[in-house]
Amino acid sequence: ITQAYLDRIAADDDVLGSYLHVDPAAAVERAAAIDAAGSAGSGLAGIPVALKDVIVTAGVPTTSGSKILEGWKPPYDATVAARLGAAGTVLLGKTNMDEFAMGSSTENSAYRITRNPWDPERIPGGSSGGSSAAVAGGLAPWAIGTDTGGSIRQPAALTGLVGHKPTYGSVSRFGLIAFSSSLDQAGPMARTVLDAALLHEAIGGHDPLDSTSIDAPVPVLAEAARRGAGGDLTGLKVGIVRELGGEGHTDGYEPGVLARVAEAVALLESMGAEVREVSCPAFDLALPAYYLIAPSEASSNLSRFDGVRYGLRVGDDGSRDLDEVMALTRERGFGAEVKRRIILGTYALSSGYYDAYYGQAQKVRTLISRDFSAAYDEVDVVVSPTTPTVAFPLGSRVDDPVAMYAADLCTLPASLAGVPAISVPCGLSDGLPVGFQIMAPALADDRCYRVAAALE
């Protein structure tokens, strides 16, 4: 299996650009060792997997899509990587991504662009666009992505995959290069709901190495996916979020996307679900709140890239002092979007502006959580489109950050509230995939899988 995927990578990845690092010899050697040991134990033994390059892997180059980490080989494995290793999976390679996971198209990678296998002139989504392109293009059976504001769900939606952002704290962040620590979460990207559930089960559960890890048992998800596939949703209460593409809130949404989503809702109804509209007024403020909170946390997290501890160091020829070397390294090592976020975040956190920006954004975050709680008093899951549009053409939004940020309109509320959310394909618009998003209360990830499987 590993060799078959390596052959596909060799044949197609020059065009697709989904990987940043592949070591065929190491992958084959690992696969052979698993074969020799027999498949006793994990059901995942011998199955290859691709990891987003934000996940640190012992001895394997890890860049987070940035020049500032070029050549860095971490001395340890992220918990996600360690658990997949212990399950007997084979690392196929590290996938391309927007630098430090900041972006929605993978065009912010410092290394290469990634193309959407459905249409190579279009973006594969982001920031986990290398993972989405690899799986959708047949260059990996499944992959791990990370989602801070939508980076698993949005690329999954735009490439016709299933992608799940787990409940915050239910998958370890240990060894994920931090972007926005109160939002970051790793999760599965796969071709089927059951695959996503199996991959999620392999990486989930408590980890003492992550201080925000929830001390709860490993979630039981594959069973929920199998149950949902039966297509009986009798008694399930579904809320359609008015503020995400509903009446009076359709600006920026493509009619083709809304039509596919309406069809998916009708399908849920035909399987016995009770559907009603719910209103979550604070969701209208999710975008500005997220784009203050995430850059604020990023500006703090990225201070560790100082030209001393990791990767790149510029100008260290004995003629300059520490501050100059640090400034030169960061000037050269960070791309434009990363610098924009650092400046935005530093400003929002600065004395005199903190209350007006960061403080306000945190209040909005609380209001969004309350909107979810109120909705979940009435319904079991809430649903929406995953993205307002289908995959857009390469280059069409790179010079317009606000248009790029709008790609996250529907995914941000679940990120800010820490609740689980899945994207499942619900048909095509103009020949391109549309994603349907299902959100559930914290730790009820199984509901996302059940409903997604029913729609599959």
Q: Which residue in 151, 299, 384, 415 is the catalytic one?
A: 151
279 assigned to active site: no
Residue 29 near residue 49 (C-beta atoms within 8 A) = no
Q: Name the token pair of 320.
A: 């300059």
Give, to the nearest 10 degrees, the angle between helix 336-349 and helix 286-301. 100
| DSSP E strand boundaries for 237-330 | 237-241, 274-278
Candidates 52, 66, 415, 423; catalytic one? 52
**CB of residue 313 to ligand GLN, shortest distance in Å:** 27
Token pair listed for 386: 């995953």
Beta bridge pairs of residue 164: 422
Q: Which long-range contacts (CB under 8 A, 24 or more apart) does 319-323 make?
A: none
Nearer to ligand GLN, 148 or 296 (CB): 148
3-state SS of the chain: helix, strand, coil percent to 5?
A: 40, 15, 40
Report the nearest approach of ligand GLN to the CB of residue 102 (Å).
5
- Comparing every residue's Cβ against ligand GLN, the nearest one is 151
- Position 354: which residue type? Y
66, 127, 213, 384: the active-site residue: 127
| Beta carbon nearer to ligand GLN, 135 or 292 | 292
Q: Which is nearer to ligand GLN, 89 or 415 (CB)?
A: 415
- CB of 442 within 8 A of CB of 449? no
For ligand GLN, the closer CB: 44 or 289 = 289
Nearer to ligand GLN, 97 or 280 (CB): 97
Nearest to 365 by CA among 282, 245, 242: 282
CB of 196 to ligand GLN, least distance (A): 17
Q: How far is the CB of 167 from ligand GLN (least distance, A)?
A: 16
CB 165 within 8 A of CB 144: no
Cα 166 to Cα 177: distance, rounded to the nearest angstrom: 18
Residues engaged in binding ligand GLN (CB under 6 A)? 101-104, 127, 147-151, 179, 294, 408
CB atoms within 10 A of CB 129: 37
Any catalytic annotation for residue 299? Answer: no
| β 274-278/237-241 pair status | parallel
CA 238 to chain centre: 24
Q: Which is nearer to ligand GLN, 325 or 419 (CB)?
A: 419
52 tagged catalytic: yes
For the CB of residue 34, give the shortest distance to ligand GLN in the complex, in Å: 31
**Shortest separation between residue 137's beta carbon and ligand GLN, angstroms:** 21
Dihedral-angle region of residue 266 (phi above 0 means left; psi in -120 to 50 means alpha; beta otherwise) = alpha
Phi/psi of residue 161, nearest 5 degrees: -110, 170
Residue closest to 444 by CA, chosen among 152, 190, 181, 214: 214
Q: Give the three-class secondary structure for 383.
A: strand
Q: Is there a cis peptide before residue 127, judged by omega within 30 degrees of 0?
A: yes
Torsion of CA 240, 244, 249, 251, to 10 degrees: -140
Shortest Cβ 68–ligand GLN spacing (Å): 17
Q: Is 237 helix (H, G, I), strand (E, B) or coil?
A: strand
Using the minimum distance from each CB to ligand GLN, give the nearer residue, 187 or 228: 187
Closer Cβ to ligand GLN, 2 or 106, answer by number: 106
Positions annotated as catalytic residues are: 52, 127, 151
